[in-house]
Chain A
Amino acid sequence: MSNLQPVKGSSKDQPGLRYPTSGKTIYHRPLNRTKAAELSGASFAYLFSEMVGYASKKIESIQDLEKRLNVQGHPIGLKLLDLLLYREPPRSQTRPLNIITLLHFIKINVWQHLFGRAADGLEKSSDPTKPDEYMIIDNEPLVNRYISVPKDMSQLNCAAYVAGIVEGVCDGSAFPARVTAHSVGKQEEGEMWPGRTVFLVKFAPEVMEREGYLGKG
């Protein structure tokens, strides 16, 4: 244990800790971005295809692959939640307290940050036996733009990655949920949105319980 130095000592001498040559760590960089900070779609598509390729190694089922994509997205959601809240103006810098505020935050802020536009729809399940299910609809998910799913994997929707991000945001804000991506676009000729994807958000029972309790005031 003798090589363990107290943290208060001069930090530059600590073994294993490296500083960039400029001396600027992540703590020296601002968290705010300029409005026009966009990334190349081509490089994203390339990276994403590698991610899907990596996740599809030694899988037993399509669910397995979707689960792996979901797990890759989850930490991003957790981080985005605090980053986007930090960037909100102080007046509206509030934690989401109910399901509607949370989903609205995802539909507007998260989508705007990730894809440069808001999601196309937000719906509550019309089935009265499933009050815990909500749907976020994207007519043309960015992640699926250059992906053609093989016939034998027809259930696969690579937007499971985005579902993982959404799940991370929900879990982070203390609304544990299961989020899955489903293709609902019809493949017929002349269909407006063949890639239409629904993100089904199913909240945990304790969330519904709290929602009922808080709603009563």
Chain B
Amino acid sequence: MSYYFAIVGTQDNPLFEYEFGTSKQGGDGLPHFSEQARHMNQFIVHSSLDIVEEVQWGGGQMYLKCVDKFFNNYVSCFITGGNVKFLLLHQPTMPVSTTSTRSSTSIGANPTSPQTEEAIKNFMLEVYENWVKAIMSPFYRVNMEVRSPVFRQRVAAAGRKYL
């Protein structure tokens, strides 16, 4: 399972990017996107913004769950009060159709299972906490890129913990 996490500002501008892999079930925590897929990820995530903008007015929840699917890529979204979107693209190692032979509830195998939704929710909430801390800086202005290495470490730690 490989993950691509992006924070997108209110003008659809990227503020933060991070790629990682699963640490559960003996995963090495490294992303295993193919070289072609890596630049596609940005397009897939960006194209899901249209759907997010529709879904966000349907309910006041911050966690919008899985909003988009593109072949074997699933995009989950969390939207903050300030209209900043956290987008997580997750790509199961094997296409989901093959899992029908042996049904699994592990996070990696089934991207739309309640367990996965819950794990991603916990990940998003932890990132949100750190995000609020980041924007509380008096020198932070809206839509500024977040470059803090401490923030990056914190996101990485949340990824290791939940995904």
- B137 is an interface residue with CB less than 8 A from chain A: yes
Decide: A7 and B130 in contact? CB cutoff 8 A: no
Decide: B82 and A82 in contact? CB cutoff 8 A: yes
Decide: B132 and A7 in contact? CB cutoff 8 A: no
- B30 is an interface residue with CB less than 8 A from chain A: no
CB interface residues, B 31-87, toward A, < 8 Å: 56-57, 59-62, 79-83
CB interface residues, A 23-56, toward B, < 8 Å: 25-27, 29, 31
Decide: B142 and A82 in contact? CB cutoff 8 A: no
**Complex-state Cα separation, A4 to B60, whole angstroms:** 41
Residues of B with C-beta under 8 A to A141:
none
Residues of B with C-beta under 8 A to A75:
141-142
Decide: B57 and A82 in contact? CB cutoff 8 A: no
CB interface residues, B 138-163, toward A, < 8 Å: 140-142, 147-154
CB interface residues, A 69-117, toward B, < 8 Å: 75, 78-79, 81-83, 85-86, 93-97, 101
Decide: B57 and A97 in contact? CB cutoff 8 A: yes
- A173 is an interface residue with CB less than 8 A from chain B: yes
- A14 is an interface residue with CB less than 8 A from chain B: yes
Residues of chain A at the chain B interface (Cβ within 8 Å):
7-8, 11, 14, 17, 25-27, 29, 31, 75, 78-79, 81-83, 85-86, 93-97, 101, 172-174, 210, 214
**Complex-state Cα separation, A83 to B130, whole angstroms:** 11
Q: Which residue of B lies closest to A77 (CB)?
A: B82
Residues of chain B at the chain A interface (Cβ within 8 Å):
10, 56-57, 59-62, 79-83, 128-137, 140-142, 147-154
Q: Which residue of A lies closest to B151 (CB)?
A: A27
Picked from B60, B61, B83, B154, the residue with its CB within 8 Å of the CB of A27 is B154
Give the distance to chain B from A71, nearest Cβ to Cβ, in Å: 12
22 contacts between A and B (CB under 8 A): A8-B152, A14-B149, A27-B150, A31-B133, A75-B141, A78-B82, A78-B135, A78-B142, A81-B81, A83-B136, A85-B62, A85-B81, A86-B128, A86-B129, A86-B132, A94-B61, A94-B62, A95-B56, A95-B81, A96-B81, A97-B60, A172-B83
Q: Which residue of B lies closest to A94 (CB)?
A: B60
Main secondary structure of the interface of B (DSSP, over half): loop
Q: Which residue of A lies closest to B142 (CB)?
A: A78
Q: Which residue of A lies closest to B130 (CB)?
A: A27
Given contacts A27-B133, A78-B82, A83-B132, whether A17 and B60 have CB atoms under 8 Å apart is no
Residues of A with C-beta under 8 A to B83:
172-174
Residues of B with C-beta under 8 A to A210:
57
Residues of B with C-beta under 8 A to A82:
80-82, 131-132, 135
Picked from B59, B60, B136, the residue with its CB within 8 Å of the CB of A26 is B136
Q: Which residue of B lies closest to A171 (CB)?
A: B142
Give the distance to chain B from A161, nearest Cβ to Cβ, in Å: 16
Give the distance to chain A from B73, nearest Cβ to Cβ, in Å: 24
Residues of A with C-beta under 8 A to B61:
94-95
Residues of B with C-beta under 8 A to A101:
60
**Complex-state Cα separation, A81 to B128, whole angstroms:** 13
Given contacts A95-B62, A95-B79, whether A31 and B132 have CB atoms under 8 Å apart is yes
Given contacts A95-B62, A210-B57, whether A11 and B132 have CB atoms under 8 Å apart is no
Q: Which residue of B lies closest to A97 (CB)?
A: B60
**Complex-state Cα separation, A78 to B129, whole angstroms:** 16
**Complex-state Cα separation, A82 to B118, whole angstroms:** 22
